[in-house]
Structure formats: structure tokens, C-alpha cells
Amino acid sequence: QGKQKKARKYAVMKRMISLRDQRINEKERAKPPPKKKKEDPSAIKEREVPQHPSCLFFQYNTQLGPPYHILVDTNFINFSIKAKLDLVQSMMDCLYAKCIPCITDCVMAEIEKLGQRYRVALRIAKDPRFERLPCMHKGTYADDCLVQRVTQHKCYIVATVDKELKRRIRKIPGVPIMYISRHRYNIERMPDDYGAPRF
């Protein structure tokens, strides 16, 4: 009896709308399916190739230079607090130059959403030494915002410890990544002449 019940339920699930049903428009059904146009192999295909930024000389980014503008991610601030690192001072120790940490509206909104537990991170993010960058787009997903910003403007270094975000930024040429290892800041993909430490 149990098997019969199961079979009956399965039959109910498979029930479909009849072709004679009034909810289906007869005129729409009568139309033949649209034919796909055959592609002419001899025709020239038009492709939109993104313009190569003029600031890049191969992998060397000429727009980077002191003072460095560093885009900070939410988890970078949190991990800096865990490692007991002063953000601005540690950035200067890493790059041997003046650094301006930049925080976007999306990152600020993300920190505010984290609540009372991350109040120290919020206090650091509201530091007057941080430059606030307004966001004009919809939504508050910080990773997309940072990737979009560094794709448009190649004058930033991205500070993050997020593996997924690092992977996405590595695909964009000329954008260095700052990360935390061994309780200090390190830099990745920085041109040799800037004297960035390598560990």
C-alpha cells in the first residue's frame, strides 16, 4: 500500500497543462518557431576589445607613485586589528612612502552592518586620515565595487586578505595587492623600482 501511495504522488507531480487549455493562447501556438539565421563564414566579425590603459607600460603602472592611494577592504581592517597593526603606519613601513588609505561607501556600509562586535573596525574606518570615496552604483557588495574601481582607475593599491578578491584582482594588470603575513604588511605585484620589501 505504501508503494501505491508513492506512485500516486509521483503521477500527480508529473501532471501538465493540456494543449487545449484556454490559458494557452492559440494564436501564439500556431506561429512557427523563429528560424535561426545561418552565419556567413566569409563575413567579418565585429568584436569589442577593451581599450588598453595608457598608464601601463607592459605590467609597469606609471600612475602608481607616492603618495600611494590604498583601497582598504573590510576584512583587511579586521585582520589588522587582530594582528595589532596600526594601518597607516604599517602601510608606510611597507612602502617607505606616504600612504593614504581609501575607503568606499560600500566597505563602510559593510562594516556598519557587522554590528557592535566590529565597533573598533568602524572607529578605525572613520579615522580622518582615511579618504572616503563615494559610490554611485546600486547595491553594497564591496568586492564588486573594488574590482570595478581598480579596473576604471589604475592609481590604487588594493589591501585585502580575501582569497577570492585577490584572485579577481590578479586578472587586472598593473594593480598591486597588499596583504598581511607574519604580523606585517606585504605587497604583491609591485614594480621593482619602488623599493617594496619582498619576503
DSSP for 95-154 reads HSS-EEEEEEHHHHHHHHHH-GGGHHHHHHHT-TTSEEE---SSS--HHHHHHHHHHH-T
User: What's the pLDDT tens digit per position in 164-185?
Assistant: 999 999 999 889 999 999 899 9
Q: Check whether 122 has a pLDDT greater than 70.
A: yes
CATH architecture of the domain 63-190 equals 3-Layer(aba) Sandwich (3.40)
What pLDDT is attached to residue 131?
94
**Average pLDDT value for the chain:** 82
Instruction: Express each pLDDT in 54-93 by its tens digit.
Output: 777 666 788 888 899 999 999 999 999 999 999 999 999 9
Percent residues over pLDDT 70 in the chain: 79
What's 178's DSSP letter? E
Burial class (CB in 10 A: 0-12, 13-18, 19+), 85: middle
Task: Determine the average pLDDT of the residues in 38-51.
Answer: 72
| 0.75 exceeded by pTM | no
Q: Is the pLDDT of residue 150 over 50?
A: yes
